[in-house]
Amino acid sequence: MSGKEDLWNEIPSHAWISLARSGMEKISLDQCFLKGCDNQDIKLLLPLEKEEIENDDKHIKIISIECKKCSGIFKLKFETIKKVARPINSNNDEDALSMGIVYAMDEDDNNLGHIGYF
């Protein structure tokens, strides 16, 4: 299977993790999210394909990436909420601007967890 390097243009280089009391922390998306793999070398990651789903209130983009280090495939799922509202329990303007959420999934679409915001 040949990769599609230009899919990197579709992937933000970073996401933001919300820390309870100390603001936001930046995390690189140029890494393998599969369990037991510590690959953080973008040269060992190969984007394979993109899938997009559009509905009334969400735009979902899923990009499959092959890791050359563990030979696994994972997916980054970018979910953008179209109607952005500030959470009812928050007075923080930053929360209202958190429009996109990124998740990691394995090859079989099992959720590996919420990574952060983009």
Q: Which residues bind Zn ion (CB under 5 A)?
A: 32, 34, 37, 39, 67, 69-70
Q: Which residue, 64 or 98, has its beta carbon nearer to Zn ion?
A: 64
Q: Which residue, 31 or 98, has its beta carbon nearer to Zn ion?
A: 31
Q: Which residue, 77 or 100, has its beta carbon nearer to Zn ion?
A: 77
CB 70 within 8 A of CB 34: yes
Least Å distance between CB 98 and Zn ion? 28
CB 25 within 8 A of CB 16: yes
Q: Which residue, 70 or 99, has its beta carbon nearer to Zn ion?
A: 70
Least Å distance between CB 52 and Zn ion? 24
Which residues, at least 6 apart from 14, have a Cβ–Cβ distance to it below 8 Å? 26, 27, 28, 29, 118
Least Å distance between CB 68 and Zn ion? 8
Could you tell me which of 14, 46, 17, 11 has the C-alpha nearest to residue 28?
Answer: 14
Rounded CA separation 107/25 (Å): 27
Least Å distance between CB 67 and Zn ion? 3
